[in-house]
Structure 1
């Protein structure tokens, strides 16, 4: 669809959302970056959106949880944006990243323990959809709220379904109760630091910022994990690069952010004045969609879609400009550590169906796998508090993440033949840098 729009209209195309709400879809990479980096012309303040002002977007519109203005940094500008975003980024600086990585690893082991003895699993519903929520609940200081209901509500509220509004209400109830508890009894967690930041956020502001951080982090990371695992299991080239050490799991994650960004769009942006973008006349109050997925494959910046994008972070997966995602490093850490630990526990994992049998669910904001069935040799459970007895998958150069045919057995003559013993090489003399380092230490 994006390519049809690009072919017909160029880098900016007119379209309609649910219930015929008019919107511009920004398809070009440079046009998206211009919109993100020009707050004098484009804003996230949805109160300026003409379709909200004239009643085209009705109160029961399925995208109302996304359209509705909220007292959060995503919808603010100027000094108010600096105050609110400063509180969020300030609270994020208090996160113990080393401790969170340990928690990600433990949470991964706990999830794998639930299905490792069966030899089969669905890595979407049993892993990718649960790991990010387990980690975010720990970061927020509400691990007791981690359950099936909050996982399902978080995924449902972005689908634009009839139950999206009630799912949003449930999430907000959880977060407002958490805000009240931490206001009375602060602890060393993200929520308490957000409440106690010098910006002095109100309870409503705290709850709304918790919601946007939770939902965006959860949805983006769940999709990212599923996408990376699918490519590992279905793309021989991708798998061979990981197995052979030419690509690390973090590099695989970055490649996935180019090819299959967790959010395909973010909206609405609103034109603050009449302007021109991508050859189109944009009127004041017009809504625009940040086209992450089409921007990432813009042929002007990426003529060869098979090209390796390792080390290139100029994708749009985390937006950009003043509203660039402040929690992107947390999302990367959950995907990096979670995928690495899973592949280390299940080195023989393989897809349990044909690739063309995989099912997808699409919405205006993203496209994600419905399930990812896999099979593997049954494994015993592990003590999640102990250090893993095997190296991370990124260090297992010989690991093969798909069951291969058995190696040919040696003949009787080959088995009886003496095994040559290699002569040990003389120890290498340390390099200049190491000798200087030893001299400096006094070794």
Structure 2
């Protein structure tokens, strides 16, 4: 974000970012990005166009790419815009604090997120082919059974927080099981992930502890492989080192879990607050899948993502980009670009950029979609009269520059409907059976019956104790 080189030298017009002092940069943190991100993006677009100068934390500048075609250019041109954060000028110039909240999300790691070219393709193949081994039918059935057990753990008072008691717990339960982590690790992992995704003041030590847990898991699976994603990743022909495996588990858990949590919460919010959508859904004119797509357009679970780093001085969206500048993918802003909004609406349209684009498009979108769709469908079946417990305008959002996530979603309901399906007989992370295969089965789920607020059901159990008991067959 400096003066262009001689070959690009043009006198910048008034209002160009070249004339904007660093103290006037728009912050991509704090209340504005939490309370009204769409308004923030609209103001930036009106002032600067498709690429806007921003501040990620005091004294740390970057560019936010707001335009749909510009974001496609950014993600598809590896020659000009690299994933390698070691090119970033800010830390190279000593301007990034050792305890910066940005470190967990921007530090270089030996993963598919930080590499280009052949090395990226090697590691992406390992992750994609490992995820492809999940049995989709069994994953759906097990997610539904886990959702039923979670709902059954709620008390008889007819109230619940769909973020704390559902959206934030269900994906983690499934993902920890997929990776081969003990169910008891779940609560701490939720807390650690929240710290560095929200860029809290505890993000750096939380990131270190998170990686230590996964390093222990990798060492264990090297010695004793199992039928889980960690073991399959280590056994892949790509030949990952232990360090590479740990960092890819971080990617799978953080990206997969956080995205799934937010996607679930935002979809439930849409259904509870948008009468038009709820009516068309219950009337059969739209499906839960349609709701999922609308959320990916309106409020994608990841609204901004770091990032790309310019390999040389260039121009993007009419802005001079200097070598080493950081560019943030404005996924939500690009989806709202007026140039791509269709007058027919968003139904059935999957051209959004919620998963990114180019060679680095998210490899876990299919299992994530299956988990979220199952979570929403199960909840609507079990609690058909679900309604918001507070006015919609009182809902608040987490103060994250990266995630679009509610802090809570309080609801009311009158009774439980019994579960639809029984628990699967085998694990969704086990290979598909062959005539000679033998696999351990998953214990039967806790059964439930319809309940009402005055039914005299015992008080609420700890959600984690309930789920741990369900996994262990208690």
TM over 0.5: yes
Distance 2:280 2:318 in 1: 41
**Match of residue 86, structure 2, among 47, 68, 93:** 47
Choose which of 255, 265, 274 in structure 2 pairs with 1:216: 255
Match 1:61 to one of 95, 100, 106: 100
Shift of the 41–375 alpha-carbon distance from structure 1 to 2, 3 Å rule, reads same
Query: Within 5 Å, which residues of 2 pair with 1:173-212?
Result: 173-212=212-251
Q: Residue in 2 aligned with 1:329?
A: 366
Query: Cα 1:380–1:320, aligned 2, differ >3 Å: closer, same or farther?
Result: closer
| Alignment match, 1:301 | 340
CA deviation after TM superposition for structure 1 residue 170, in Å: 2.1
- Name the residue aligned to 1:341: 378
1:311 aligns to 2:311 (yes or no)? no
Deviation at 1:5, TM superposition (A): 0.9
- d(CA) in 2 for partners of 1:176, 1:236: 47
Greater shift, 144-153 or 252-261, is seen at: 144-153
1:277 equivalent to 2:316? Answer yes
Alpha-carbon deviation of 1:380? 7.3
> In the alignment, what sits opposite 1:404?
none
Query: What is the RMSD computed on CA atoms of the aligned residues?
Result: 1.6
Structure 1 residue 253 corresponds to structure 2 residue 292: yes
Q: Which residue of 2 aligns with 1:34?
A: 73
Residue 265 (1) aligns with residue 308 (2): no
TM-score (norm 1): 0.84
Structure 1's 2 and 308: CA in aligned 2 closer, same or farther, altered over 3 A?
A: same
Equivalent-residue separation in structure 2 for 1:288 and 1:154 (angstroms):
23
Paired residue total: 385
Tell me the distance in 2 between the aligned counterparts of 1:155 and 1:122. 17
**Is residue 2:333 matched to residue 1:288?**
no
Residue in 2 aligned with 1:124?
Answer: 163
Are 2:58 and 1:19 equivalent residues in the alignment? yes
Is the Cα contact below 8 Å between 2:382 and 2:418 reproduced in 1?
no
For residues 118 and 383 of structure 1, the distance between their equivalents in structure 2, rounded to whole angstroms, comes to 23
CA distances 1:371-424 after superposition (whole Å, capped 9, x unpaired): 11111113377698459xxxxxxxxxxxxxxxxxxxxxxxxxxxxxxxxxxxxx
Q: Is the 8 A contact 2:302 2:402 kept in 1?
A: yes
Whether contact under 8 Å (2:60, 2:95) holds in the other structure is: yes
CA deviation profile, 1:168-191 (whole Å, cap 9, x unmatched): 122112211111111111112111
Stretches of structure 2 lacking an aligned partner (at least 5 in a row):
1-39, 425-474
Match runs of 1:153-164 below 5 Å: 153-164=192-203
Moved more, 165-174 or 233-242: 165-174
CA distance in 2, matches of 1:2, 1:368: 17
Contact kept? 2:101, 2:196, Cα under 8 Å: no
SS of residue matched to 2:113: helix
Q: In 2, Cα distance between the equivalents of 1:338 and 1:362?
A: 25
The equivalent position to 2:112 in structure 1, one of 73, 77, 86, is 73
| Greater radius of gyration (CA) | 1
Moved over 6 A (4+): none
Pairing partner for 1:140 from 176, 179, 188: 179
Contact 1:21 1:56 survives alignment (8 Å): yes
> 1:274 Cα deviation (Å)?
1.4
Question: Aligned-pair distance for 1:57?
Answer: 1.4
Give the structure 2 partner of residue 377 of structure 1. 414
- Tell me the CA shift for residue 244 of structure 1: 0.9
Q: Does 1:239 align with 2:278?
A: yes
Deviation, 1:243, is: 0.4
Q: Deviations over 1:261-295 (max 9, x none)?
A: 00110012101111111011111111101000110
SS of match in other structure, 1:73: coil
Deviation at 1:348, TM superposition (A): 0.7
- Post-superposition Cα deviations, 1:182-202, rounded to whole Å, max 9, x if no partner, equal 111111211111000111101
Contact 1:95 1:189 in 2 (8 A): no
Larger RCO (CA under 8 A, 6+ residues apart): 2
User: Is the 2:105–2:196 contact (alpha carbons within 8 Å) kept by the matching residues of 1?
Assistant: no
Cα distance change of structure 1 residues 324 and 9 upon mapping to structure 2, 3 Å threshold:
same
TM-score (norm 2): 0.79
Distance 1:132 1:277, change over 3 A: same
Q: Which moved more, 1:358-367 or 1:345-354?
A: 358-367
Q: Where do 5+ consecutive residues of structure 1 fail to align?
A: 388-443
Relative to structure 1, is the Cα distance of residues 340 and 146 closer, same or farther in structure 2, using a 3 angstrom cutoff? farther
Find the residue that maps to 2:133 and give its secondary structure.
Answer: coil
